[in-house]
Amino acid sequence: MYRYDQFDRSFVAARVAEFRDQVARRLSGELTEDQFKPLRLMNGVYLQLHAYMLRIAIPYGVLSSRQLRKLAHIGRVYDRSSGHFTTRQNLQFNWVRLADIPDILAELAEVEMHAIQTSGNCIRNVTADHFAGAAADETVDPRPYAELLRQWSSLHPEFTFLPRKFKLAVTGAAVDRAAIQVHDIGLEVKRNERGEIGFAVYVGGGQGRTPMIAKKLRDFLPERDLLAYCEAILRVYNLEGRRDNKYKARIKILVHEKGLEEIAASVEAEFAAQPVATAALGEAEIARIAAYFAPPRFAALPARSAVLEDAQTEDAALCRFVSRNVSAHKAPGYGVVTVSLKPIGGIPGDATSDQMDALADIAERWSFDELRVSHAQNIVLPHVRLDDLPQVHAALAAAGLATPNDGLVTDIIACPGLDYCALANARSIPVAQEISQRFADLDRQNAIGELKLKISGCINACGHHHVGHIGILGVDRQGEEFYQITLGGAEGADCAIGELVGPGFAADKITDAVETLVETYLKLRRDPGERFLDAYRRVGLGPFQEALYADA
């Protein structure tokens, strides 16, 4: 993985020192809240309902064991022995004290991590496919490009005061596990017929109040033009993006209002105006960064593992786990393991410090010291030998981390909602917990098959409800929590925004409503291979509305 160079190291150290001084001045009263707030936000410090919250970036979701152990340690010392993984490949500590934050940042810097640009109107943490460098279906490893973008966007002097926040996502596989079409800029790394690397460039996607699917600006941008082209997009946005209305300030609104043609013309003109010699990425620079992401030394193994298959005959739980949570790896004899942070009835995305330590140990021993954080609020062990899966499964089970529900109805994405978030209208976590308990039976979950359920506590859509097969949005109806349901959203290559099914449901009716939707699907699906999303696309809202509102 990428290692800080001297510049990165001294820069982060200087930022920690600077923030330490700012916090001291705030606590002594020298700085007012109005003066301090923008400074703390630049360092990822929010004030939530019950405490300060620190958001730490996990660039493109890649973590080493050492880094995860440090997060476990910080959780133990400064929080309540846990941390919360979010949909943007960040980790949030919900219970930190302002006075401790400089020490936390200093500890993070020891393992080459920070919280810079995790808030504010700047370019946020660059996200990527959590199976990057591992998945069998990957064309090109997106991480070197994500790292180039991270370096380019870190404190880029031109882009520290954008009209609004700006999010980039990169995938190197056509299936798109990075949800690139709901990002401000989405990039798919690919190869042309000549084998050259380039990018499909999407712009203007996003969720929130006004969900939009991104539009494709280029089908194949040459590799060398990556940064220059992104810079051209940012320049156009920085100049033309609206600053008069916070709700219309994202690039998606600009793209929507101007239309694809006009935006494309502006971006291309800006791009053409750049001096090629200085703007283009050199081959040496790309190679230098790519070297950090060289594949680990995979052993030459047969594609099938007799050890695993023997163990599976003995152990049904292992079998379920393997069939559900292990995905195809590019190296024969290896698998990509998804570790669910969605135990039945748990808080989606939460991991205790002990669990983080256990994961770090497992990754060190069995996954080349590497972990990933997924936007689905799960953890990934990217490179596990199939022969080792029985041991890995046992170690995960011992840590309470072997829930075999990847992609199933209980693998719910939920934002913190009204239990923590100052912006929320309704709670998300208890809704997720109740649905999870209702569908706890694994046989039933497997019979239902892939079903992505996503819950947000307000229209900001941190819980990605717009792209849930079933999306749930919490609203405030005259002081009561109410939940609206959307159907048919999807986040991958077949990206779609879910459609509102009808009037919302009270908190004590929402789980029943989800169950009605699921039962309706089971009755109308053609065969078990027709997923909820496929069935919805075939039949539309009608049958679901009838079932939900039959008695209304």
Partner 1 sequence: MAARKIKFDWVAATANDLKGGEAVFRRADGSWTRTVAEAELVPGGEAGAALLARAQADHAANRVVEPVLIAVDPATRRPLSLRERIRADGPTV
| Residue 246 interacts with, from partner 1, ligand HEM, ligand SF4, none (CB under 5-8 Å by kind) | none
The tally of CA atoms less than 13 A away on the side-chain side of residue 224 is 10
Minimum CB separation from ligand SF4 for residue 351, in Å?
Answer: 18
Please give the span between the terminal C-alpha atoms of the chain, in angstroms, as a whole number.
56
Under 8 Å CB-to-CB from 542, ≥6 apart: which residues? none
Under 8 Å CB-to-CB from 174, ≥6 apart: which residues? 137, 139, 188, 190, 493
Q: Which of 53, 72, 189, 458 binds ligand SF4 (CB under 6 A)?
A: 458
From the list 62-70, 97-105, 108-116, 273-281, the region that binds partner 1 by CB under 8 A is: 97-105
From the list 299-307, 353-361, 444-452, 458-466, the region that binds ligand SF4 by CB under 6 A is: 458-466
Minimum CB separation from ligand SF4 for residue 424, in Å?
Answer: 3
Under 8 Å CB-to-CB from 464, ≥6 apart: which residues? 87, 179, 182, 207, 375, 413, 454, 456, 471, 491
Establish if 485 lies at the interface with ligand SF4 (CB under 6 A): no
Q: Which is nearer to ligand HEM, 289 or 448 (CB)?
A: 448
Minimum CB separation from ligand HEM for residue 405, in Å?
Answer: 10
Reading the block at residue 262, the tokens are: 């006009």
- How large is the greatest C-alpha to C-alpha distance in the chain, in angstroms? 68
Query: What is the pairing mode between strands 470-477 and 453-456?
Result: parallel
Minimum CB separation from ligand HEM for residue 72, in Å?
Answer: 30
Minimum CB separation from ligand HEM for residue 267, in Å?
Answer: 46
Q: Which is nearer to partner 1, 189 or 414 (CB)?
A: 414
Q: Where are the beta strands (DSSP E) in 429-527?
A: 453-456, 470-477, 480-487, 499-500, 505-506
Q: Which is nearer to ligand SF4, 151 or 425 (CB)?
A: 425
Q: Give CA angle at 212 (209, 215), nearest 5°.
A: 155
Minimum CB separation from ligand SF4 for residue 431, in Å?
Answer: 12
Q: Which strands sit side by side in the sheet containing 90-96, from one edge to the other?
A: 45-47, 52-57, 90-96, 82-85, 350-352
From the list 38-46, 76-84, 372-380, 450-458, the region that binds ligand SF4 by CB under 6 A is: 450-458
Q: Is the dihedral of CA 38, 39, 44, 48 positive or negative?
A: negative
| Residue 108 interacts with, from ligand HEM, ligand SF4, partner 1, none (CB under 5-8 Å by kind) | none
Q: Which of residues 413-432 bind partner 1 (CB under 8 A)?
A: 418-420, 424, 427, 429-430
Establish if 421 lies at the interface with ligand SF4 (CB under 6 A): yes
Establish if 486 lies at the interface with ligand SF4 (CB under 6 A): no
The tally of CA atoms less than 13 A away on the side-chain side of residue 415 is 27
Reading the block at residue 30, the tokens are: 């020298």
Establish if 27 lies at the interface with partner 1 (CB under 8 A): yes
DSSP letters, 342-402, are --TTS-TTEEEHHHHHHHHHHHHHHSTTEEEE-TTS-EEEEEEEGGGHHHHHHHHHHTT--
x-or-dash pattern for ligand SF4, window 401-420, by CB under 6 A?
Answer: --------------xxx---
By CB under 6 A, the count of residues binding ligand SF4 is: 13
Q: Which of residues 186-245 bind partner 1 (CB under 8 A)?
A: none
Establish if 516 lies at the interface with ligand SF4 (CB under 6 A): no
Q: Which of 50, 66, 243, 538 binds partner 1 (CB under 8 A)?
A: 50
Q: Which residue ranges make up the site for partner 1 (CB under 8 A)?
A: 26-27, 29, 32-33, 47-52, 96-99, 347, 418-420, 424, 427, 429-430, 433, 479, 481
